[in-house]
Amino acid sequence: MSTYCVTGGAGFIGSHLCERLLKLGHRVVCIDNFNGVYDYKIKIKNILNSTGLETTFQYSNKETDLLHLQQAVEGDSYKLVVADIRHADELAAAFGNERIDAVIHLAAMAGVRPSIEDPLLYEDVNVRGTLTVLEAMRKHGVRKWLCASSSSVYGNQAKVPFSEEDRVDRSISPYAATKKACEVLGHTYYHLHDIDTIMLRFFTVYGERQRPDLAIHKFVGMLDRGEPLTVYGDGSSRRDYTYVGDIVDGMIGALAFVEGHETVYEIVNIGTNRTISLLELVRSIEQAFGKEALLRWLPNQPGDVEQTYADISKANGLFGYDPQTDFAEGLHKFVTWYRGN
């Protein structure tokens, strides 16, 4: 049994990863600060689902609820640490009490458009926070990690599909710039402190427990409530939508690779190598939900890229990454989950 620290482990992707690690027989130390980007109760439910704890949670107030949650899930296989990755003392307490074999760093401020509104917050959390995690690893002798990067680092590339060898120093949003900065920091600590690193460039992740601010969840909610769907641009922008189960498969494969090799620094795309237009997405949601949408057309938004499209041959070659979930199947799973929640 290995012990893995998952930062952002109460979130959408993080909770799915924790669930898989637990099923594989490992111990998980989940670090999350339950910030106010969306209702903290969503993350509590994520944790209850990922740990398999069947309980009726009685909500009171945030501070009390998080304390009760920590007590409820504490066990030989799982520990919840409520901490902010920017605070070295909070990370030191978490790392100092555990013998951690590897870190999977998912905690971040996410989203292109909000990063334009508050770039300093994004720099503080995503760059300084990542550096604080790396320092905690260095001080406590943790030499293996995965770090979540993003397809947004590619900007508006004309060449498709996007390859890890492509130039990525022309970001068009602060969020993308912070993710590129994390990749550079990862290489710095690999070079100076022998911390083996895989930077995972995720491509538009969707599925059960998706954050409520992301397109598919937001569109399904609007459709359910009979509200017009806000569509930016002419509907031709394209995304490489990747089902969360395939993302977790990729992380597990990358984790095995980085643990099984020395002197590793790799940047790897985790996508599907298929794209869907925004208008195709809307029609697919209509079909999956069984309801026709009203559309509200607005101009393109600053920072939004025209398309994302992953070349996944490197991930396949390094650790056998081979996404299995087609978009219709993944969307059906999400809609089923949405209706049940």
Look at the chain and report how many structural domains it folds into.
Answer: 1
Q: Are 78 and 47 in contact (CB under 8 A)?
A: no
Range of the domain at 109: 3-206+242-273+310-323
Close Cβ partners of 62 (under 8 Å, ≥ 6 residues apart): 34, 40
Close Cβ partners of 282 (under 8 Å, ≥ 6 residues apart): 219, 229, 231, 235, 293, 295
Write out the H or E segment, with its range, that includes residue 243. Answer: strand 242-243
Q: Are 21 and 12 in contact (CB under 8 A)?
A: no
Pairing state between β 276-277 and 238-239: antiparallel
Residue 48 is which amino acid? L
pLDDT (0 to 100) of residue 230: 87
Question: How many C-beta atoms lie closer than 10 Å to residue 128's C-beta?
Answer: 14
Is there a domain that residue 23 lies in?
yes
Is there a domain that residue 163 lies in?
yes
Pairing state between β 205-206 and 78-82: unpaired
Is there a domain that residue 285 lies in?
no
- What separation in angstroms does the CA of 335 have from each of 45, 68, 256, 288, 340? 18, 30, 32, 7, 9
Is there a domain that residue 125 lies in?
yes
Q: Among 78, 122, 154, 175, which one carries the catalytic annotation?
A: 175
190 is annotated as an active-site residue: no
CATH number at residue 148: 3.40.50.720
Q: Is the pTM of this model over 0.85?
A: yes
pLDDT, averaged per 10 consecutive residues of the chain (341 residues), comes to: 97 98 98 94 95 84 95 94 97 92 97 94 98 98 98 93 95 96 98 98 97 94 93 90 98 98 98 96 94 90 88 98 97 96 86
